[in-house]
Structure 1
């Protein structure tokens, strides 16, 4: 059992990690240090816990019920259907929490091959969701999960209902909810859905969820770094409870983990993994790009290059405004990774290895998303990157899964 008091003296935060915890910029943190609000321990180069434990975000981590929540078991077998399953991040987390998938739908053939390769017992339906008749599912479905792509609706100045969103992938998820009538659903999406089309997209979604007979829990942006994931990924989570049930139960969001995982935790044996990350396939830089990237320090980007190399690498962009902090970016072992994209070597969203001058390899990518090492991605190297980059981090999905199991247990005991 984790003993907060005995561990407190050991806890120290780097400036970068504390900035992530407090949702402040590194520049803001450095200003606070200059003003004397926070001081860095000379010996460790980090900020001791007692300097910052008054912050609510830190308090929540110190008093976390993570271990208790992760010991939650289903009172019976709860059946789950997942849509837009991708390479399996969300489904794996739900499985680890004790939920049983009875059907998974995915369009991408390589992702489907991955799901089948790793879980022969999963019922993977490959193809267009619009062609699935969910009324043919005979099982009672306890929970429906999935991440529909964020798409604009065509408004023409009117308030939209369920039928008006036909042609979008949200409509297909809403249709599945209407036909299956699960007790609970969970939908995940990009943070940008909050403000997409000046908030109208989310307002429409909320209206349709109400129309379908579900009570929506207030949506929340979850930061993966709080859920034992070494990555600064954010996802918007929507949880809906069927109205005939909702009045009697309350959904509790998962507690954060007690500390923040970094790339060091992802790549080396320790708290996250028992072994160092295995070597795997990976993209490579062209010779000249590799020469230039050698000059970027850990945690640095193009502005850390000598001026002549900045000009060569950035070309016309050198003269434009804006930080462009993803360009020529080398990650740091002592920070969580930036959000993974579907390719580690795209110029705007570079994800260079902290020590070696190369893009992150496939298994490194997978560990940053907290996939187990024995989860085998099918298809080409680039297909694997795409599956991993689009996934929900497994550990964050598991934390949500335990919250859903607790909710379903409460529904059962009404």
Structure 2
């Protein structure tokens, strides 16, 4: 564990991954007294950079019988969202049994840390998980915590660079709570900390300058010959159709763009053929129809909409589209590469976009920011560089400094760990906003005052000012732990 002398607060790091929470909390000056991560590869990276191994299982350390978690001032957890049972009418802790949140709650009941900081995917705050959300909020309130029932959904791309922001759209929900068993603020509503965040506003990101991107060839990021061929073909589509569509739609700037609906080559037929099928004509008028029922009325409404739009688009521009199909033998491409999801608005060429080769098709976005890193093989392609995002650039996107060491593991493992991680700048700013919101409560206790001073009063606006140093300190602790013990 960290051995920071005179640390202003002690924290625990649950479901720690490679240490996104640890990075922010170490930069605030905190001392880790317990961390846990069940994935061996992620735990090794964590240990290499923070000086102690989190490898373990929270279900063994925190349950009805065992409490092997030491006292602490701040609890951080990017916990998995397992479904809570909706059976029965009980509320509270019994409904969380069998989920990993229940183990977190056992720790909270045992130690009542001054601040609780939880993070999860945005869907936790969505309508499908309202029950789970309500249980989490209510169980925290039952334990004496001041917590907002309004979700704090936040993304690092909303922050300016000088606050630790990054050009990545990565929306996550944060639950921040302060222990306040005496209800010092009475009936004053606990509003979400987002109100205290300084956001970027309408300013756009510049990937090359703000990430930044590495120059020259980067090992392990090259596109395959097939990938280049697919993208060259679709770039020809973009550059061919841009002037055609613009000339055909001079009265409306909005219409003078490439289609925003998914462009499905396999669904290009004349509008009259589609209309005949919709009117009840027998047979499905597509060569590749494996995902379509025989009857039009059995096609889901969302898919009907896309079929109609593709048929109208093909009918209107049939001459140009047929010549494009012939130039590139698009019919030989894999099915998912015969689809284009154009979300790049007025961008003139495909190679100026940020691209993803997804199971749903080739997605193209404007080059102002990147989509969220994910833990599967959809690593973004930087069109202007004609290569994939490197692991170093992906780490920068999550806020890690360049001296963060992933060791000898494969690039695929690194991408996966970063895709599973939490953005450091988002954690830093959410915690500062929370401390600002609950300043009156924190000032009422010695532990609270120490946290307030470390997180808000003494800390810089961005974690970037400290991260390289705290990572170097963690790596030094790791190196010392690897030295042979004198006999």
TM-score for the superposition, normalised by structure 1? 0.67
- Among candidates 208, 219, 241, match of residue 264 of structure 1: 208
Which residue does the alignment assign to 2:335? 315
Distance 2:442 2:135 in 1: 31
Structure 2 CA distance for partners of 1:320 and 1:183, relative to 1, 3 Å: same
* Matched residue SS, 2:81: coil
Residue 54 (structure 2) aligns with:
125
SS of the residue 1:265 aligns to: helix
Residue 226 (structure 1) aligns with: 158
The aligned counterpart of 1:288 is: 226
Structure 1 unmatched ranges of 5 or more: 1-74, 270-275
Judge conservation of contact 2:9–2:30 (CA < 8 Å) in 1: yes
Q: 1:138 to 1:409 in 2, by over 3 A?
A: farther
Indicate how the Cα distance of structure 1 residues 161 and 267 shifts in structure 2: closer, same or farther if over 3 A, else same.
closer
Matched, 1:341 2:374: yes
State the alpha-carbon separation in 2 of the partners of residues 392 and 172 from structure 1: 20
Alpha-carbon RMSD across the aligned residues, in angstroms, is 3.6
Report the Cα offset of residue 355 of structure 1. Answer: 1.9
CA drift at 1:321: 11
* Aligned twin of 2:363: 329
Larger Rg over CA atoms: 2
1:131 to partner: Cα distance? 0.9
Following TM superposition, by how much is the alpha carbon of 1:161 offset from its aligned partner in structure 2, in angstroms?
A: 2.3
Kept in 1, the 8 Å contact 2:116–2:176? The answer is: yes
**2:428 corresponds to:** 398
Q: Which secondary structure state, in structure 2, belongs to the residue aligned with residue 125 of structure 1? A: coil
1:89 aligns with 2:31: no
In 2 relative to 1, CA 103–321 (structure 1 residues): closer, same or farther, beyond 3 Å?
Answer: closer
Given that 1:221 and 1:236 are in contact with CA atoms closer than 8 Å, whether structure 2 keeps it comes out as yes
- Which stretches of structure 1, 4 residues or longer, exceed 6 Å deviation after superposition? 319-326
The 8 Å contact of residues 21 and 422 in structure 2, kept in 1 or not, is answered as yes
- 3-state DSSP class of the match of 1:375? coil
Distance 2:120 2:199 in 1: 22
Alignment of 1:218-257 (within 5 A): 218-227=150-159, 228-244=165-181, 247-248=184-185, 252-253=193-194, 254-257=196-199
Q: CA deviation at 1:313?
A: 4.0
Aligned to 1:162: 93
Number of residue pairs the alignment of both structures matches? 325
Contact in 1 for aligned 2:153/2:173 (Cα 8 Å) = yes
Task: Tell me, yes or no, if the aligned pair for 2:84 and 2:96 is still in contact at 8 Å.
Answer: yes
Q: Normalising by the residue count of structure 2, what TM-score does the alignment of the two structures yield?
A: 0.58
Give the direction of change, closer, same or farther, for the CA distance of 1:321–1:368 in structure 2 (3 Å limit): closer
* Distance change (3 Å), C-alpha of 1:381 and 1:322: closer
Q: Partner of 1:381 in structure 2?
A: 411
Residue 200 of structure 1 and its aligned partner are, at CA, apart by 1.5
